[in-house]
Chains A and B, each alone.
Chain A
């Protein structure tokens, strides 16, 4: 819920890190347990990213599946249903290992030195691995 105000928060974070450079894409990690709907986030992102330096910036959402660890048998399992019970032993003393993430991981910005006409022939710059 609140995807529009969430997108406003994402935009503020992105603008600060972009420091005036044009933003090409924004990478967000979203955990399964957060009450945020990716499709709605994308829709609202279009609304907040119409002006430079965000104009045209793609929002890329990487979904992080929920994983729980059982305090009784030690097993780690995917959170397949909403009920936090260990599928291996049925124990209820489970803790969340992943699935609560919600952060801006990185942004891709245009390198101002190569922006402009004639760029079609240029080979893409090597990108650091994610």
Chain B
């Protein structure tokens, strides 16, 4: 792997017979300084701070992830319709640009805070703990029972960044085919539940639900699976039952 190598301790050689990034390093004394610091340490520290704030305020938090267009926002609309009379819900909406998703969720009785990860120059493809922390002052945490974080549509990066959540959910549309669990195993392994969305389209597709469940079980044997259609509302009650059974709502 190219330059991934270690030098023998105590080796003496001329500067010419070895390609080294810093030749004068061999002439000077070297001191090894122990570091032992996690590279995502800053994110994980802030995730722990977020979690502490959530627990102090008595809010349970779920991080919702998916590929773009799988139906997170549509499912959230249905969830808010069903639950916002019973419990106090907040939504932390993450998008690179626009308030379109946040706007769609207005009017259902939930407190909404938007994080745009774009700053006019593209933007982060995921929410991380510092970004989530920056939005917390805009949410009435002590007055919430459940906070739903709608992550940026992305099947890769959000899995790597803990934001302090209690649980993780993925929304997966049957239009995506059966094979994505095998292609994106780390994302599928990092979630507690997969909502299989757009099942109203089953008659129009060659989607093999059994094969999908098998692929999913191969990478995450214990994951819960809920079939739903955010468009028709089918299965949204089962999703809310899962939220209750997981201790996310009372």
A102-B38, A102-B39, A103-B39 known; A109-B6 Cβ under 8 A: no
Query: Are A2 and B219 in touch, CB under 8 angstroms?
Result: no
Contact with B along A5-26 (1 / 0, CB 8 A): 0100110011001100100110
CB-contacts of A88-130 with B (<8 A): 92-93, 102-111, 113-116, 119-120, 122-130
B39–A125 touching, CB < 8 Å: no
**Could you tell me if A24 and B219 are in contact, using CB atoms closer than 8 angstroms?**
no
* Shortest Cβ distance from residue A62 to the other chain B in the assembled complex, whole angstroms: 8
Contact B22 A60 (CB under 8 A): no
Interface range for B: 35 or more
> CB within 8 A of A105: which of B11, B15, B36, B159?
B36
CA–CA, A109 to B37, complex, Å?
17
Cβ of A87 within 8 Å of any chain B Cβ, yes or no, is: no
Q: How many residues of A contact B (CB 8 A)?
A: 58
Docked-complex contact B28 and A115, CB < 8 angstroms: yes
CA of A123 to CA of B9, assembled, Å:
11
Can you sample 30 A-B contacts with CB below 8 Å?
A2-B160, A9-B39, A9-B41, A17-B33, A24-B25, A28-B39, A33-B186, A35-B156, A38-B4, A42-B3, A58-B20, A60-B3, A60-B6, A62-B4, A63-B4, A84-B189, A84-B219, A84-B221, A103-B37, A104-B36, A105-B36, A106-B32, A109-B33, A110-B25, A110-B29, A125-B29, A125-B30, A126-B10, A127-B30, A127-B32
Q: A106-B35, A127-B9 are in contact. List 13 more A-B contacts (CB 8 A).
A: A1-B160, A9-B39, A39-B1, A42-B2, A42-B3, A56-B21, A85-B218, A102-B38, A103-B38, A109-B30, A120-B15, A124-B11, A125-B30
> Which A residues form the contact surface with B (CB < 8 A)?
1-2, 6, 9-10, 13-14, 17-18, 21, 24-25, 28, 33-35, 38-39, 42, 56-63, 82-85, 92-93, 102-111, 113-116, 119-120, 122-130
A107:B35 contact, CB within 8 angstroms: yes
- Whether A124 pairs with B26 at a CB distance below 8 angstroms is yes
